Structure 1
Amino acid sequence: MQHDGNLVQYPVDTPDTAPYSYWSSFTDGKGDNMSLNLDNDGHLYMLNSTSFNIKDLTTGGYDDTNRTIYLMKIDSDGIFRLYSYRLDRNGNRSVIWSSTSDKRAPKGLCGLNGYCVDVDSEANCICLPGFAPVIEGNFTAGCERNFSSDSCKNDDGKIQYTIQAAENTVWEDTGYSEVTSTTREECETACYEDCNCEAAMFNDGKCTKQRHPLRYGRRDLSNSNIALIKVGIYSSINEPRKHADEPKDGNGKLLIIGLSLIGFSIMVLVISGALILWSRVFRYKRFSTDSNIRLCENVTPISFSFSEIEAMTDNFQEEIGKGAFGTVFKGTVMLNGLTKFVAVKRLDNISDQGEREFQNEMRIIGRTHHRNLVRLLGYCHDGANRLLIYEYMINGSLSDVLFTPERRPCWIDRVEIARDVARGLLYLHEECETQIIHCDIKSQNILMDENGQAKISDFGLAKLLKPDQTKTFTGIRGTRGYVAPEWHRKLPVTVKADVYSFGIVLLEIICCRRSVNWSLKDEEAILEEWVYDCYQAGKVGKIAGEDEEVDIKQLERMVIVGLWCILDEPTLRPSMKKVLLMLEGTVEIPIPPCPTSFFSSI
């Protein structure tokens, strides 16, 4: 319904102008606030603001008793119809009015590069010459070329096209050039010699060049317009492609030679790929130390004896870290004559497990591969000694990077670090074979490789979920400042506990400060409360530091994501999949409610 009071049908995504309409009520200028009404008598009335009957779109008289019901709708063929149902005749339906009797009238019925024809009063679609249906049997999907159109001319400068006609057809006028022409032959020549011209419309001495796609095509025998289509010679229905066994002018021999060369090239590539793959597998299997320690990147990590681990770490000489699960030492192994570093974690306070159970857990962790997870290479279960061998992260932890002023990453790098952590958590929660709740996400457990890429460590050590589990009751785990409120309330702990911890880490990444810092003012000591106060006051620029150049819109988006993640109610927190989409800017983010943190509630 247009503002002028005219009820009009247009194809989608077209201007509301007369050339694109295919039905109209012709009630423009008849009054204000026009409306369409289906009355009890089965008539469609156009009424104005005073309910004055401007026009009856239907014709004839209909049954207005309670024996008949009426339905108006736009059918899938684009035609507006009025139906009647006689309840005393088993609900038989009949069409009592339609906007048009010409089923070819709706524009776009045949999709791009196809046109509509009348076959026994039914609409049928035909592709342009040189085109074929995109989806066989579904003409609304349109038609596509059945020939290559990479170049208008060949190396000899000879045109590779011919012109074919679709006569008595009308199309949308999207011409880019009008040619002074008096004959059809001159119009064909003008398009034939123009590499930009893909079709030309010739009508009464007027020639207009157009490009594909053509749309809203229909055959109209009363219209003299001719669509002249440029078609690849070998795709022409009148001049089929020559076969390879027709060596006219040497073309057949050239084709055979070309196909042979292509086949030989493919064979060489396949053999080369197989040799490269085999050589890499062989190198991994030769990963060893002087004491014949073997370590390979197989599907599962390798089991080592304690004596082998002692040799690897030079009797645990160099300690590089200490965490909730144990102490980490630096070790070395030999790979094809080159010394490679590894991180060996000596586990403390791990519950007693049998050899088989521990190995099963190691296999599950070892099969968890993602570019944002620290890779488990091997393990040791030798009596009471339980150790894990990880790839070595040369740049230390995210905590070291964020909270050391001279190592503080720029804004762009911090954004990418946040996305790296989100991708790793999404994999643990939804994409790996066995769902894993980390339970101790913090900046110290996120490590940085030589390229500055963030990787999550210590996953799978806190709690592994079986496929049929979705939540667990357990004692408080995690680190103060990062732990979700549900831990303290003895509520079911789900993956949303990791989402909460991620939210705290995200705020740390944004601000480059720790989640709790009692050396600051009281109102700034607890990070999430200070961030929310700044957000409420419209001072998000203060959060990342006044002296740093940041993208304010991106900063505000990340702050909002962080505030959603640390909501007190777990069900209100987004999933990690939604978090990643929000961080990447592909979904809109509503304004978050005030987060009630654990610290502010005690």
Structure 2
Amino acid sequence: MENFLQEMAKEKPVRFTTQQLFSFTNNYSTRLGPGGFGSVYKGQFPNGVMISVKFPKWSVDRRAEDEQFMAKTGTIGRTYHINLDRLYGFCHDQYMSALVYEFLENGSLDQYLFKEEKEIEWEKLHEIAIGTARGLAYLHEECPQRIIHYDIKPGNILLDENFFPNRDSTHATLTGYRGTPGYSAPEFSLINHPITHKCDVYSFGMVLFEIIGRQRNAIVGSAPCNDSLDWFPKHVWEKNEKDELGAMIVTCGIEEKDQEKAERMCKVALWCSV
């Protein structure tokens, strides 16, 4: 771990002390909620820049914790892209580990996507989808070493003040595969089957289906192979085979001016889910 931290000191992220985090967060007074990595707190640098401080979920296996911390810090610390959540720095000692990110004031996409009232217009949702795709393409194709996200879903697409997407949890885990039911590719359920970047592509397709329908694809935890399940992606496949995508998009409430883009998004989602 010490060798790793010395190497990270040569990179952009700053190593903060526990006392600094205590000050930045005002004694951890504002909890933002749980994240994929653990508890998250709101804070502020002395220059006024807002931050979020994320702490890992503790377990009895300190070695596994260190491996996951190194994986996350090592990969995110070397990635720089407008659609990726910016890592300012980290803290690690014998008592605690934490990552310090930029604070994105509008939270995650799932807070807006599944509400009855449409707080985000479809054109903005289309921009969010494109921005997410660009961030994912950077991880898969432009990084010196390909990074697999493992958990693409609306809850991990963070939005800034202009509802511009940034990506959370961009790391390759060394301690086991992650993923969320309803978004994970079928490969996750296969024993000894390699998990590749294509699994991220599948998950992104599931997110696109939810953006199109403005609803969850199905009840989380339900098996999509169940023929009796009203699974939205299956419904889209059937409409596509009948050349009825246009009519289906109308039923989703998408305005005429946006229907062509929505149909293209449907076809991309279908391609991702193959």
2:140/2:146 contact within 8 Å kept = yes
Question: What is aligned with 1:176?
Answer: none
1:303/1:380 contact within 8 Å kept = yes
- CA shift, 1:539, in A, is 4.2
TM-score w.r.t. the length of structure 1 is: 0.39
Alpha-carbon spacing, 1:476–1:361, altered in 2? closer, same or farther (3 Å): closer
- 1:460-482 per-residue CA deviation (whole Å, 9 max, x = no partner) reads 1535xxxxxxxxxx854200000
Question: What is aligned with 2:237?
Answer: 532
Q: Confirm or deny that 1:489 pairs with 2:190.
A: yes
- CA shift, 1:536, in A, is 3.2
Question: What is aligned with 2:52?
Answer: 343
Question: Counterparts of 1:141-220 in structure 2 under 5 Å?
Answer: none
Which of residues 305, 316, 323 in structure 1 aligns to 2:28?
Answer: 316
Which of residues 52, 62, 68 in structure 2 aligns to 1:352?
Answer: 62
Q: Confirm or deny that 1:565 pairs with 2:266.
A: no
Query: Residues of 1 paired with 2:93 and 2:201: CA distance?
Result: 36
Query: Residues of 1 paired with 2:153 and 2:71: CA distance?
Result: 26
Report the secondary structure of 1:552's partner residue. helix
Alpha-carbon spacing, 1:431–1:313, altered in 2? closer, same or farther (3 Å): same
Alpha-carbon spacing, 1:441–1:509, altered in 2? closer, same or farther (3 Å): same
Alpha-carbon spacing, 1:415–1:544, altered in 2? closer, same or farther (3 Å): farther
- CA shift, 1:415, in A, is 1.5
Query: Residues of 1 paired with 2:71 and 2:134: CA distance?
Result: 25
2:245/2:263 contact within 8 Å kept = no
2:16/2:91 contact within 8 Å kept = yes
Alpha-carbon spacing, 1:544–1:504, altered in 2? closer, same or farther (3 Å): farther
Which of residues 99, 104, 111 in structure 2 aligns to 1:400?
Answer: 111
- CA shift, 1:459, in A, is 0.5
**Identical counterparts, % of pairs:** 39
Question: What is aligned with 1:510?
Answer: 212
Which of residues 242, 248, 255 in structure 2 aligns to 1:542?
Answer: 248
- 1:156-213 per-residue CA deviation (whole Å, 9 max, x = no partner) reads xxxxxxxxxxxxxxxxxxxxxxxxxxxxxxxxxxxxxxxxxxxxxxxxxxxxxxxxxx
Q: Confirm or deny that 1:330 pairs with 2:35.
A: no
Alpha-carbon spacing, 1:361–1:325, altered in 2? closer, same or farther (3 Å): closer
Q: CA RMSD in A?
A: 2.7
Alpha-carbon spacing, 1:415–1:523, altered in 2? closer, same or farther (3 Å): farther
- CA shift, 1:566, in A, is 1.1
Query: Residues of 1 paired with 2:67 and 2:169: CA distance?
Result: 21
Which of residues 357, 379, 383 in structure 1 aligns to 2:90?
Answer: 379
Aligned residues: 254
Query: Residues of 2 paired with 1:564 and 1:441: CA distance?
Result: 16
Question: What is aligned with 1:122?
Answer: none
- CA shift, 1:367, in A, is 1.9
- CA shift, 1:409, in A, is 2.1
Question: What is aligned with 2:133?
Answer: 422
1:440/1:498 contact within 8 Å kept = yes
1:374/1:391 contact within 8 Å kept = yes
Query: Residues of 2 paired with 1:456 and 1:345: CA distance?
Result: 15
Alpha-carbon spacing, 1:368–1:496, altered in 2? closer, same or farther (3 Å): same
Residue 56 of structure 2 aligns with an amino acid whose one-letter code is: L
Q: Which has the higher strand share?
A: 1
- CA shift, 1:435, in A, is 1.6
Unaligned runs of 5+ in 1: 1-297, 464-473, 568-602
Alpha-carbon spacing, 1:546–1:397, altered in 2? closer, same or farther (3 Å): closer
